[in-house]
Each structure stands twice: as structure tokens, then as C-alpha cells.
Structure 1
Amino acid sequence: MSRKSNFHANLPILNGKNWDTWVKQMKGIFIVQEVDEQVNTILDPLPANPTNQQRTTFKEAQKKDNKSLFLIHQCVDAKVFEKIAYSTTSKEAWDILHKSYGGDAKVKKVKLQTLKRQYELLQMKNDEAVAYYFTRLATLTNQMKNCGSNLAEQETVEKLRTLTPKFDHIVVTIEDTKNLSEVKIEGLQSTLEAHKLKHGDLIH
């Protein structure tokens, strides 16, 4: 019983609202479990009068498909499971979930417009920690990419101009001494946090 509990605890669970994150995590699990092709492959039935080799190949494919379907079952909550309860293959279940929660092109286009507006207006708050602001920035850019945005990292780095005035000096220094096209967002965050610590303004 404890094994089963631990198994569940380490798996991502689709609740209907976290599709973009969940699907990335599931693809990683499928690769580790060596069943990543199954959710995109139709399981062909055995032909009439199959050879021993065909039987063996079919049995192996069916085994992998059952494994990937089992993983999907373990990684959805009770409400989502009802949508795929009668699916007989992993591809059938995967396609249902994608259609239900993945969103079509029109929906993503509208959502992306809203996210772009939020991105344009994003500003660091006066009492906001550097780490928290960069988390908000990363979350927003990831959401945009999930909706089809091709936002370049340089554009994200250039958001340093949205920091509060107390960072004006370090921002000017960074822009004067570094090629922003070569700066990584993680390095920028580290530089800013080091600047705060050096000037006695503790990071929250």
C-alpha cells in the first residue's frame, strides 16, 4: 500500500486547469518508460492468419500501449478520468484529453493576445523581491510560448527596464557593458540579486 501511495505522490495530476505543464511532464515520463511513441500511434489489429513474428510484435506493442494507458490513468484526477474511462488505447485517451484541455488554435490565439498585453504592462512592484518578479516574468513568458509565441530570450532580458528606480544604476551598467543578445535571464537575475545584497538590501 505504501508503494502505491509513493508512486502517486511522484506523478503529475491533470485536474483540467494545468494542461500545459502536465503534458510536458507526461512526455518526459513516457520517454523514461519507453512508451513515448504509443500515444501517437494507432494500434493495428493482428492480420488474418498471423505469423509468429506478427504475433510477437503485436503482443509487444499491446504491452507498451497498456503501460502508457495505465500511466495516463494514474496521472488524472477522478473528474478527468471520466472522460477517458472507456478508452481502449492510449492514443484514444490522449486524443480525448488533448481535445478537451489542449485548446484549439483560435482559443490559443485569443489567449495569446491577452497574455501579450499583460507582458507589455508588466512592471516590478516597489516592495517586490527580485526572485519573485522574475518568477512572474517566467510564468508569463511560458504561458505565451504555450500559446504559440516565439518570444526571444533577448526580449525577456530587455524587461530589465521595467525594474524599480533603485535598479537604474545597475541597469545602465548592464546595458553599457554587456551585449543583451548574449545575456541569459538566469544570469541577469543573479546579477541583480548580487547587487541588492552588496548594497545591504536583503533579498526576500
Structure 2
Amino acid sequence: MTTTSSNTMFATSSNQIPIFDGELYEYWSAQMEPIFISQDLWDIVQEGYEDPQDEDEDSKKRAGKQTKEYKENAKQNASALRIIQQAVSKSIYPRIYGIKKAKEAWDVLREQFQGSEKAISIRRQSLWRQFDNLMMKETDTIKDFHSRVAETVNQIKATGDVMEERKIVERILRNLSSKFEHIVAVIEETKDLANLPMSELMGSLIAHEQRMSRFTKPPLEQAFSSKVNMVESKYAKSEQGQRGGNSQGRGRGRSNYRGNNRQNYQQQRSGYTGSSCIICKKAGHATKDCRFKCTKCRI
């Protein structure tokens, strides 16, 4: 019976052994090692044991009997092999089916999923290049960058290499983005990098990042704020323009309005409506004032 938890990388058996399904071998083997060590089985997995050789007379006299040491080795081998068999999925189990020794089963899985020594060496070199080229992106937080560094470091360690903490500290400081130049200079001047713990470095960098975030708006917030300010500015100018137009209407506009009214009133009194005379077809006078008007007509 196997169970899967959102907090674990692998499904686990009923006795909490991680189940290997063909992916992430390095992480699976790293989880298996402490299980073997806790049960005093790691030596038998790594080094194996030899069967007794019945070559001398004493051995022949003890035919069918096994030494105490051999019995103990055989017992540990059976326990370790059983754990390995429980730690692989149904699709992986056929690869170790029929194998009687834990070391042999362990080596088969390592060869097939981690590769030969040559393949491991090539992968190790590739990971070291990746580690040397790690750069913090402008969008990365300190935690994001540290996670990428830690993942690469763990993969290098899984190939059998040793990574000193001093080297990791130096790499992080060297490859931080430009906005951290000030704090990097302070750390290099005030700290002994050879003995600076990773936890202390991360604490200093995260604290500095939090201080910067108090005074620096995110780009999206800045853009939104700028757009709001622009809209408010346009609205204010529009209101000012409307007020200016209304004041002009109350000044010169009002006198023009009064002048036009007086002119219209005079024209209405004289009968002139602004159109041409209906008698002579000329403009400038009312029809009733036309000199060609018939005195007997009612016009």
C-alpha cells in the first residue's frame, strides 16, 4: 500500500519509505541513505559481503554450517534488499527482480538512473558550469535566487562532489543584481566571508530587501499611480477651461447679447426681418417702406 502527501516529493509505502518511479533518482537515493543508516544497513548496501569459501579442511568439516559473521551479513542483506524492493514502483521492480544481494540491486538502479562514472563526471562538470553562470534576475527576490542556487548545489552534491559553504556564499554575493551593490560592499568590508554562515548572509540580504521595498514602489503600482495623476490633471484643466468660458459669458458675452436684442427689436418695429424686400427683391429695407410700393395695396 502506498500513500501520497502534498508535502513529500515521492509517494511513500505504509512504513514511510519513498517510492522511486524512475524520476529524480538523486533526491530519492538521498532520502534512502538515512533510512539504511538508521537501521545499520548502509555498509551492507555500499560494500556488500562475501559468501564463505569451503576450501580448507575445517570448512569441509563444517559443511552445511555458516559462521556467525556470515549469518549476520546475510540477515542485514535480506533486510536491506527488502527495503529496496519496497522502495521501487511496479514499473521499476522488474529491473532488480531475481537479484539476491542489496548492493547489487542498489548498483543496478544507480547505473541505470544516475549513469556510469563517466556519465556522472560529465553531468558534474555541466552542473559546475551552471553554478558558475548563475545570475540573479531583476525580477528575482533574494529567496528566489537562493532557491535556484541551492537546487544546483544539491545536484552537484548528489554526484558525489563536496561543496564548501564559503564557495556558495561568494557565488551569491558575486552574482546578486545591481540594486544590492551597496549591501554587498558592506558585507565584504565588515564580514569574514571564509567563516560567514549561509543563514547569516541570507538574513542580512532579506532584511536589506525588505527595507528597500518600503521606499520603492513596484513598477506596476508606479504605472497605475502615474496614470491616475494624468487623468486627474486633465480633469482639473477641463474644469478651469469651463469656468473661464462662463466668466467670459458673464462679461463681453452679456453685452453682445444685449446689443443684438436691441437691433432685433428695432428691425421688428420697422417690419424688417433681415430678408430681402418682396416687392423690389432688394435688401436693406422693409417691404412696407419700399418706394415701389403700391399705395392702394394692403401690404
TM bin (shorter chain): 0.7 to 0.9
Equivalent residue for 2:181?
A: 168
How far off its partner does 1:102 sit? 3.1
Equivalent residue for 2:84?
A: 72
Q: Tell me: CA distance 1:25–1:129, structure 2 relative to 1, closer, same or farther (3 Å).
A: same
Task: Indicate conservation of the 8 Å contact 2:19/2:89, yes or no.
Answer: yes
Which segments of structure 1 move beyond 6 Å, counting only runs of 4 or more?
Answer: none
The structure 2 residue matched to 1:44, chosen from 24, 41, 51, is 51
Higher relative contact order (CA closer than 8 Å, sequence separation 6+): 1
1:194 equivalent to 2:207? Answer yes
The structure 2 residue matched to 1:143, chosen from 147, 155, 170, is 155
Q: TM-score, normalised by structure 1?
A: 0.82
Q: Tell me: CA distance 1:101–1:142, structure 2 relative to 1, closer, same or farther (3 Å).
A: same
Task: Indicate conservation of the 8 Å contact 2:2/2:14, yes or no.
Answer: no
Equivalent residue for 1:100?
A: 112
The residue identity in structure 2 corresponding to 1:73 is: Q
| Alpha-carbon distance in 1 for matches of 2:163, 2:72 | 42
Task: Indicate conservation of the 8 Å contact 2:166/2:196, yes or no.
Answer: yes
| Alpha-carbon distance in 2 for matches of 1:122, 1:55 | 55
1:25 equivalent to 2:37? Answer no
| Alpha-carbon distance in 2 for matches of 1:20, 1:90 | 18
The residue identity in structure 1 corresponding to 2:48 is: T
Matches within 5 A, 1:50-61: 50=62, 54=66, 56-61=68-73
Q: TM-score, normalised by structure 2?
A: 0.58
| Alpha-carbon distance in 2 for matches of 1:69, 1:114 | 33
Q: Tell me: CA distance 1:131–1:89, structure 2 relative to 1, closer, same or farther (3 Å).
A: same
- Residue-pair matches, total: 201
Considering only aligned residues, what root-mean-square deviation do their CA atoms show, in Å?
A: 3.0
| Alpha-carbon distance in 2 for matches of 1:197, 1:136 | 20
The residue identity in structure 2 corresponding to 1:162 is: N
Q: Considering only CA atoms, is the larger Rg found in Structure 1 or Structure 2?
A: 2
Q: Which runs of 5+ in 1 are unaligned?
A: none
Task: Indicate conservation of the 8 Å contact 1:38/1:91, yes or no.
Answer: yes
Q: Which runs of 5+ in 2 are unaligned?
A: 4-10, 55-59, 215-299
Identity of aligned residues (%): 32
**Greater helix percent: which structure?**
1
The residue identity in structure 2 corresponding to 1:107 is: A
The residue identity in structure 2 corresponding to 1:27 is: E
| Alpha-carbon distance in 2 for matches of 1:26, 1:84 | 16
| Alpha-carbon distance in 1 for matches of 2:2, 2:163 | 44
Q: Tell me: CA distance 1:146–1:6, structure 2 relative to 1, closer, same or farther (3 Å).
A: closer
The structure 2 residue matched to 1:14, chosen from 15, 20, 23, is 20
